[in-house]
Structure 1
Amino acid sequence: MIGPNIPGNTTKDEFSLLQLGQRIECSGSYGTVKYIGEVPPTKGIWLGIDWDEPHRGKHDGMYNDVRYFKARFPQSGSFIRPAKANFGVSCPEAIRERYGEVKGDETAGIDRKGLELLQKEINARFLEVVGFDKVNRQQSDFSKLQVVWLREHQVSTAGSPGELFQLCPRIRELDLSRNLLNNWTAVAEIAIQLQFLRILNVSENHLVIPDDALSLKSSFLSLEHIIVGKMSYSWCDVLICATMWPHIHKLQVPFNCITTLSSPPPNILQNLRLLDLEGNKIRHWHEINKLGKLNTLEVLNISNTGVSEIAFPLEYEQQKTELFPSLKQLHLSENNISDWKYISELEKLKSLEDLKFRDNPALQHETVETCFQLIIARIGNLKDRYNPALQHETVETCFQLIIARIGNLKILNGISVTPEERRGAEYDYMKRHAHSWLSLTSNSEKKEQLNEFTLHHPRYQYLVDKYGAPENGETEVTSHTLKSQLILVEIHVPESKHQPITKRVPRNMTVQKFKGLIQKLFKLENEISQLSCRNKKAPYLEYPIDNDLEELAYFAISDGDHIIAQ
């Protein structure tokens, strides 16, 4: 049996404006009005609410064997009286409430209950908070407000025509996230009054996709950056909405329901510089490639999307890809990438300089393997030992491996990559795989295996050309003998009368102690202020040894290198 979906003749004027689809708030919970009318055997008007929280209600819209509405979840539906529902306020009302001047003492505008809780929390009964009256007075000059945050302030309408423009004409950034807005027309009525609006956040609102989105385009002409997170939108929904934003440069649509992508039409998102897709379950890299024709895109966030592989079209197998020509920054953290060959695939991006790559299985696998190698190499009579310090060591090793595999990378996980770090990482990478490379290049019958090696290590030949071919002794296998822990270096002191001295020094000697050793060897009176290293295979490369607390091994100093002291 189907119940009525509109109320009968009501005698209460305040109920006459009720509409299906309205958003309401009640006791801190948000929901959507799905039914308005009587629920026998009771009298009076009830609202059937589909709550955002799956277990906030008692049923799915069916009550006493009558289907009044259909809720999204089995227990997200319930009935409440209209008097209990908060239908929201206009945007100007919310601004006056949020930023209006509060007459009183120096804590004007501060939540007194919150202040009391803070006093108890930190055991500071006489905590003083002063100066907020001045801030409050400045904020309450609405005509000067440029940044307005109204998250969870129950905004549901734009207010009277022109009211917002008269109140706050200079707003540049507006946060309307998690409010009671339910359609893009209401958002457009707000935006059209703000000619300086550049940044808009409408996340966590249930905004129905408009039938004619293009008709709202004139309301968003000044908008450059929009955030549309947690809206249950698909990529198709996003493209429909994008017709409203003709001059958008930054688009954030995190944690939506985007699983597949498509290349935007020629007149949509063609000036996009930043795209944030974090938290959408896209999973497959071939979907990401569909965005490759966005020629202006500089920043792409696909963290936590379930991606497990990285692969560009086969025509780019041995060369840089034509996709994503301007992409400088890529976020790939919290994904399922487990094979290091996929990191090497990123070398094909022409402009990539900044990479975020945390919490991927490849790092964990590398950590386990490197821990094993480091322990065996350093502990001759190993039986059973655990050392937390190895965690830092392996993170650093992963850091170096990524740098070595992506030639243009300048920033990794927010840390700048110095030329010295790049040289050390690339040189260690070469040694790490030297044994395999030497065995394959020395046997003409292993051409197929060499091609496979090149597929996994596409930069290796470039590094060989840059630093010289590795020798048989330069492999990742580390001997346990004392001799293997020593480096044979040639020390030069240009200001000294002494000839260069060849000396074996421990790899784990700190730079500070090494300076002291040089002073003794050359009988120097003044302290050494600077050291640098010149590689024997590439003497044109000279880099500073500029951290006294680091070990020599940190700077990838190898047998035969020249050390210059000044």
Structure 2
Amino acid sequence: MTQEEGGEGTTGVEGPAVPAFSVCQRVHVLGDPRRTGTVRYVGPVDGYDGSWIGVDWDDGGGKHDGVVNGVRYFSAKGQMTGSLVRPRNLSAGITLMGPCVSDTEVNLPRRRRVSFRNLKELDLTGNLLSSWQDVGSICEALPALEILNLTNNFLERDTITLEQLHLNKNKLKDNDHDGHECSTPFENLRCLLLGCNEIEDLASIDSLNLFPNLMDIRLSGNPVADPARGGLPRFILIARLSKVQMLNGSEVTSRERRESEIRYVRLVMVKLQSDGPEEIKRVHPRFAELKIHHGIEDEKPSTQNAATQSMASELISLTLKCVGASMGEKPPMTRKLPPPQRYVGKLKVLCESFFKLKFIKLRLFLQEEGSPLPLLLDDDSATLMDFGIGTGTTILVDEEMS
């Protein structure tokens, strides 16, 4: 074996107080804190005395890939990123308290009083942290901490066997992650409860698709999932969440998924006329996939023969149900509406006529399968398509609250 880091001979004798190292620990070359790596092996090497540390160096510059004289001691990430090093030539760094008590004027009684209970921001960029347990200990010791920067620490991404994670009522504001770094350790996660938090952005919803086995999701109580606060109706949540089978405690049947995805695609197609393809791709990442999956074609522009086409092909069929206390018992009715009547305000006028409700101010709700609460259609100038309403939809006709 060739001489390794620190000018080792082949038989170096370990001196006293040799530091102990463990696999996955972060280290640097003694005297050169910029030369960092991760311990991948601790133990003997055939033909050499004493203990050796197998290190996979962050920036390469090693001697091999973990194989020495035909024996594999560890697997490095590259062909020439690994080395076998004597323990005395490595350092595990210093503790967080080390620099704070190193001043010779700080005596033992005063050391016991050193604390950081009011510390709000801590930058640990480029340190030797490798364990999430250590990160948890830091957060526990710093109760006022608001910002923690762990950039370039090479934290281990251990696979977690956790299948259920309950995070209700934690004041979480976002779950937006650009890649798989956060979701990969949670490949077994099947149930994630995020109810009654403060999540309000679409990216947080879309990022849930990164968890490969996540099927049961609770989002109720978040602004993004509350239509009354400008959030998404149930059918859009289903369409954006590709694997969800249980949403907010209600099963998502194959029929509901199909209908939700088709409604969602048609809703986005309307927006495509004003937002443009690039914006649609950014805001609706599943649109193109769903459009192809359900075989939905682009709407063809009008031609000279459009006026002669059958009006029936453009009609949508709605079921209307009276639910107002002062309306009396009225049987539900199904009506077909042409394009000029597909506005919320126009539909209210039609309902007044259909049910003979001339002296009652109406409000309309969209009843969705599996949704505990109907969606208020609160914009008279909006089209039914703006709310994702298509053929087969049920509309609840209620009276304004006095």
TM-score by length of 1: 0.34
TM-score, with length taken from structure 2: 0.45
Higher normalized strand content (fraction of residues): 2
